[in-house]
Amino acid sequence: MSIKILSPFGPRMAKLSLPNTLLNLINKEVDKIVANKILSKQYNYSKKLAGEVEQEIELPKVFVNKFLKKFFESNIRDFVKQSTGKITKKIILKNFWVVRQFANDYNPIHFHDGDISGVGYLQLPKNLNKSKKKYQTNGSIDFINGSRMFLNQSIFNHKPKVGDLLFFPNYLMHTAYPFSVEGERRSFSFNAEIDKSISNVFHE
């Protein structure tokens, strides 16, 4: 699995692809939870998040540890190494959740917990970015850093495709735009902690 490091502005980002096997496993787990009222209530994560969306679901830790932990730990370690030249021994997946977004839902500007965060895309409506405007941001995600200045961009816009996976530092502000077409925009996010000797740049 190759990781492409993105540096549209100061903070490093990574773009990679989620294997179809994991994509299908996550979708299957989400469908199972959504179809069961008891499970939907048990794994409801909306109160802990900023999103103005239909439903936000925490993935069970047993599921994450069994199917996702190895893939994400390996790629987070690679991301950190390529970005800093250092190897992190500690990687803890603090939380992992799925966002079910429908027409007019949105996620306001926010940041995350932990050290490394990520977002991946599981399902997308047809013509998600459809808009009458020149800049078609519908259903896309903006990452924001600094101020717009000469020879400097402050916004990195990503129009998602199914299977896209982005890694970024937890403090990087971002927002998910609403859209107007029918269908579900299903994504997942996670937060991870790494060695503080690497993430804490102010330590002696």
CATH number, position 184: 2.60.120.620
Residue-range definition of the domain harbouring residue 132: 13-199
Q: Does residue 3 lie in a domain region?
A: no
- Number of domains, the chain: 1
Dump pLDDT digits (tens) for 23-37: 999 999 999 999 999
Asked if residues 177 and 144 have their Cβ atoms less than 8 Å apart, the reply is no
146 has pLDDT over 70: yes
Instruction: Grade residue 203 by pLDDT with cuts at 50, 70 and 90.
Output: low
Instruction: Grade residue 51 by pLDDT with cuts at 50, 70 and 90.
Output: confident
Q: Does residue 70 lie in a domain region?
A: yes
Dump pLDDT digits (tens) for 89-128: 999 999 999 999 999 999 999 999 999 999 999 999 998 8
Q: Does residue 119 lie in a domain region?
A: yes
pLDDT of residue 7: 66
User: What contacts 18, CB < 8 A, 6 or more positions away?
Assistant: 120, 163, 164, 165
What 3-state DSSP class applies to 55? Answer: strand
204 has pLDDT over 60: no
132 has pLDDT over 80: no
Q: Does residue 187 lie in a domain region?
A: yes
3 has pLDDT over 70: yes
Sign, CA torsion 32/35/37/43:
positive
Question: Is pTM, for the whole model, over 0.95?
Answer: no
Question: Following DSSP, what letter does each residue of 118-180 receive, concatenated?
Answer: EEEEEE--TTTT--SSSS--TT-EEEE-S--BTTB--EEEE---TTEEEEEETT-EEEE----
154 has pLDDT over 70: yes
Mean pLDDT (whole number) for 159-171? 97
Q: Does residue 204 lie in a domain region?
A: no
Instruction: Grade residue 9 by pLDDT with cuts at 50, 70 and 90.
Output: low
Across 48-52, 58-62, 74-78, least confident range: 48-52
Q: Does residue 149 lie in a domain region?
A: yes
**Exposed/middle/buried for residue 142 (C-beta within 10 Å: 0-12, 13-18, 19+):** middle
User: What contacts 143, CB < 8 A, 6 or more positions away?
Assistant: 8, 13, 155, 156, 157, 158, 168, 172, 173, 174
Given its phi and psi angles, is residue 114 left (phi above 0), alpha (psi -120 to 50 degrees) or beta? left
Q: What is the mean pLDDT of the chain?
A: 91
pLDDT of residue 162: 97
Q: Does residue 46 lie in a domain region?
A: yes
pLDDT of residue 10: 75
Q: Does residue 4 lie in a domain region?
A: no
